[in-house]
């Protein structure tokens, strides 16, 4: 009789709200293949609901911009110390890293010294800035699972084991098959305001969005608004911003997730990030905005190597969705752009088609299952 083997132990690190969500889908896909797997690590609500034992809350670590990271240094250092200690003590059979590059590459370095295999899922955006990080990834990471089609060639060219798994947002069933009739589309009179998943993003973006909303209602009185409240943002913060900057706007606050926002809203003003791709997958026309501190913006302009910041524009290879960044992201310019788009029904239909075309480049659903297959193969090597 063969001795019983202990269940495999996987540590997973997701320091951002989107990574927390994608990681939870991956955990569920891995458990379908091997129910006895044990998971712990860094994450939030979604990973916890997927059965991961959370050792450090992701909300304590996430940052916006380069200068904003300074205020998080104590929490980041503490988190790094915890991860280093736990990797040494617990010796997981696999370390899965999701986005969150600087922190996660530190963790990969610790794991490498301990002989722990590393899977990087949703890898650093080396195509956008700091391309030299690919050298560190080659040295420290056993396999990279990429979610954008053009990323695969970058890693393959450096002989780094890589798999294009598709985008995990497609696993959530985002209304990709909406009936293409005006009656089936959400009402354009309800505008979604999605200021971001970090509190500092909400502080920067929501007042601007609310001011733009007030100007829009003067031009189009029938408009109504809904604010998306991310699980990583305190309701009290949004209530405070609404009280101070809401004016005559009384938006609904939607807490059920962005999918609910896009089900109901026919148009959206979104902060740049994963949510802009979620809007594209849902077929929701949008304007992308983003603001950081002046120093962060200046440093970013020096380092960033791409022409667009919106993921859907990057995938399309051109600007199909307007981007209003930094000084361009003023209430006046946002309101003017949105009003012009809402008045052009044919243009909105064309934009929906362009969004659909861009999203098709991501492949179909199944990213979580494909990544789970890669993870399980790495675990099998540990026998």
Note whether 206 and 92 are same-domain residues: no
Note whether 188 and 314 are same-domain residues: yes
Residue 40 and residue 382 in contact, taking contact as beta carbons nearer than 8 Å:
no
Note whether 194 and 332 are same-domain residues: yes
Domain assignment present for residue 70? The answer is yes
90 pLDDT above the threshold of 50: yes
- pLDDT confidence of residue 185: 54
What is the total residue count of the chain? Answer: 383
18-47 pLDDT, tens per residue? 789 899 999 999 999 999 999 999 999 999
115-160 pLDDT, tens per residue? 999 999 998 877 666 778 899 999 999 999 999 888 998 899 999 9
**Token output for 269:** 């003003």
Note whether 303 and 370 are same-domain residues: no
- pLDDT confidence of residue 217: 96
- The CATH number assigned to the domain holding 192 equals 3.40.50.2000
Domain assignment present for residue 355? The answer is yes
Domain assignment present for residue 33? The answer is yes
- pLDDT confidence of residue 274: 82
Note whether 310 and 371 are same-domain residues: no
Note whether 245 and 231 are same-domain residues: yes
C-alpha dihedral sign at 32, 34, 36, 37: negative
Note whether 348 and 208 are same-domain residues: yes
Query: In sequence order, which ranges of 274-362 are alpha helices (DSSP H)?
Result: 274-282, 294-303, 311-316, 331-342, 345-360
- pLDDT confidence of residue 183: 41
- pLDDT confidence of residue 65: 45
- pLDDT confidence of residue 1: 37
Rounded-to-integer distance, Cα 242 and Cα 341, Å: 25
At residue 301 the predicted structure's pLDDT band, cuts being 50, 70 and 90, is: low
156-201 pLDDT, tens per residue? 999 999 999 999 888 865 444 443 434 445 667 999 999 998 888 9
Domain assignment present for residue 129? The answer is yes
- pLDDT confidence of residue 27: 97
C-alpha dihedral sign at 239, 241, 246, 249: negative
| DSSP state for residue 119 in the 8-state scheme | E
42-74 pLDDT, tens per residue? 999 999 999 999 988 887 665 444 445 555 677
Note whether 268 and 239 are same-domain residues: yes
319: Cβ contacts below 8 Å, ≥ 6 apart: 308, 310, 313
Mean local confidence (pLDDT), 360-377: 93
Domain that holds residue 85: 9-172+365-380
Residue 306 and residue 127 in contact, taking contact as beta carbons nearer than 8 Å:
yes
Domain assignment present for residue 253? The answer is yes
Note whether 353 and 369 are same-domain residues: no
- pLDDT confidence of residue 296: 52
371 pLDDT above the threshold of 80: yes
**Quick check: helix, strand or coil at residue 295?**
helix
Rounded-to-integer distance, Cα 62 and Cα 43, Å: 10
* pTM, rounded to two decimals: 0.75
- pLDDT confidence of residue 383: 62
Query: In sequence order, which ranges of 157-306 are alpha helices (DSSP H)?
Result: 199-219, 235-245, 258-264, 274-282, 294-303
| DSSP state for residue 180 in the 8-state scheme | -
- Work out how many domains the chain is built from and give that number: 2
Strands 38-43 and 286-290: unpaired
Note whether 191 and 335 are same-domain residues: yes
- pLDDT confidence of residue 173: 56
Rounded-to-integer distance, Cα 356 and Cα 369, Å: 23
Q: Which residue has the higher pLDDT, 107 or 172?
A: 107
- For residue 324, the tally of other CB atoms under 10 A from its CB is 21
Domain assignment present for residue 336? The answer is yes
Q: Which residue has the higher pLDDT, 1 or 238?
A: 238
383: Cβ contacts below 8 Å, ≥ 6 apart: none
Domain assignment present for residue 49? The answer is yes
To the nearest whole number, what is the mean pLDDT of the chain?
A: 86
Choose among 16, 64, 69: nearest CA to 44. 16
Q: Which residue has the higher pLDDT, 6 or 89?
A: 89
Domain assignment present for residue 3? The answer is no
Note whether 36 and 163 are same-domain residues: yes
CA 177, distance to chain mean position in Å, is: 22
Q: Which residue has the higher pLDDT, 171 or 278?
A: 278
- pLDDT confidence of residue 142: 97
Note whether 236 and 329 are same-domain residues: yes
- pLDDT confidence of residue 114: 97
For the chain, percent of residues with pLDDT exceeding 70 = 85
């Amino acid at each position: 009789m063969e001795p019983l083997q202990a269940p495999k132990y996987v540590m997973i690190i997701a320091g951002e709200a989107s990574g927390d969500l994608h990681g939870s889908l991956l955990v569920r896909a891995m458990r379908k293949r091997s129910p006895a797997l044990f998971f712990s690590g860094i994450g939030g609500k979604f990973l916890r609901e997927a059965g991961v034992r959370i050792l450090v809350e992701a909300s304590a670590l996430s940052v916006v911009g380069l200068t904003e990271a300074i205020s998080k240094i104590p929490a980041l250092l503490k988190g790094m110390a915890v991860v280093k200690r736990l990797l040494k003590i617990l010796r997981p059979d696999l370390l899965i890293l999701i986005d969150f590059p600087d922190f996660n590459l530190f963790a990969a370095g610790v794991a490498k010294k301990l002989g722990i295999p590393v899977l990087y899922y949703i890898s650093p955006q080396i195509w956008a800035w700091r391309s030299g990080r690919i050298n560190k990834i080659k040295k420290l990471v056993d396999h990279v699972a990429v979610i954008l089609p053009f990323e695969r060639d970058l890693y393959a060219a450096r002989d780094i084991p890589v798999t294009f798994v598709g985008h995990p947002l497609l696993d959530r069933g985002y209304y990709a098959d909406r009936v293409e009739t005006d009656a089936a589309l959400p009402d354009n009179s309800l505008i979604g305001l999605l200021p971001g998943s970090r509190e500092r993003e909400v502080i920067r973006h929501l007042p601007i969005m609310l001011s733009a909303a007030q100007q829009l209602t003067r031009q189009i009185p029938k408009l109504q608004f809904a604010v998306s409240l991310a699980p990583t943002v305190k309701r009290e913060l949004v209530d405070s911003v609404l009280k101070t900057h809401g004016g005559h706007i009384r938006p609904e606050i939607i807490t059920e997730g962005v999918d609910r926002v896009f089900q109901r809203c026919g148009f959206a003003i979104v902060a740049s990030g994963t949510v802009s791709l979620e809007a594209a997958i849902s077929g929701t026309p949008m304007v992308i905005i983003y603001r950081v501190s002046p120093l962060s913006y200046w440093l970013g302009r020096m380092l960033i190597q791409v022409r667009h910041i919106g993921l859907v524009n990057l995938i399309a290879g051109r600007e199909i969705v307007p981007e209003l960044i930094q000084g361009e992201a003023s209430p006046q310019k946002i309101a003017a752009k949105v009003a012009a788009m809402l008045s052009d029904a044919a243009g909105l239909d064309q934009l929906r088609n362009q969004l659909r075309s861009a999203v098709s480049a991501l492949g179909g659903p199944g990213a979580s299952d494909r990544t789970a297959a890669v993870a399980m193969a790495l675990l099998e090597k540990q026998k």
